[in-house]
A and B are shown apart, each in its own frame.
Chain A
């Protein structure tokens, strides 16, 4: 029973904080709420016996990526979104497009419910078939450096390219003041 309470608490925090991220007009609050959402998600990962992913979530996502976002928000010191202008100018504001979108969304929900009704075994407890040791850091490291070595090395190239790309994109042109 306690794990049910923990699951619903973390899920509610994650969903509520994410919804507020979308609802906020102030980007600063959005970034801080997203950190709360990521913290709740890492609680869910712990519950799924994935301690490494949970820690990576907190250290990399909530720690590094969100601090990067905070830096940019503070650096740009951007004005708030203009809601009135958005309401007038938005292309999705046309009523016919809205109706068409609602129809498509309803179709998608019906299709999803139909597909889910055909799948068996989704109601089985998530950890019923296997023991928790499968998610251990030792096992994960072994698989990462044997079966997925190429992907791991490719990731390092990706990081290098992203780093160089970010520096080049964000630098000031030499002609500019």
Chain B
């Protein structure tokens, strides 16, 4: 059997990749994809802990996270479309109207 720590390490690496993507990339769609990677990393550790503790709650919260991620993707992509229509750009540095 695989130790719990191995699943947690995979989860941590995936989360770090997602975080790096949010900070390093300058494309709104890639940033949204990085957020999805982070959500999936957390899902993996939830399911691993749930299996470890013998509790079905780990899977249930994953189910809710998937639902919220679907809602987040729909609203986020709608925002991306609206922003692209305004500025003809996907670079987050192009949207600085609130910067002083």
A residues near B (Cβ < 8 Å) are 3-4, 7, 11, 14-15, 18-19, 21-22, 24, 27, 30-31, 34, 37-38, 41, 44-45, 47-50, 52-53, 56-57, 60-61, 64-65, 68-69, 72-73, 75-76, 78-79, 81-82, 86, 89-90, 92, 116, 121-131, 134-135, 139-140, 143-144, 148, 151, 155, 158-159, 161-163, 165-167, 169-170, 172
Contact = CB atoms under 8 A, between A and B. Distances in A.
26 contacts: A4-B2, A7-B6, A11-B6, A15-B14, A15-B17, A18-B18, A27-B27, A30-B30, A37-B37, A47-B2, A52-B63, A57-B66, A68-B74, A76-B81, A76-B84, A78-B27, A81-B26, A81-B27, A123-B3, A126-B7, A134-B56, A144-B63, A158-B68, A169-B79, A170-B78, A172-B85
B84 A135 contact: no
Interface string B71-84: 11111011111101
Interface of A is mostly: helix
A124 B7 CA distance: 12
B24 A22 contact: yes
A139 B29 CA distance: 37
A166 to B, nearest CB: 4
B61 to A, nearest CB: 9
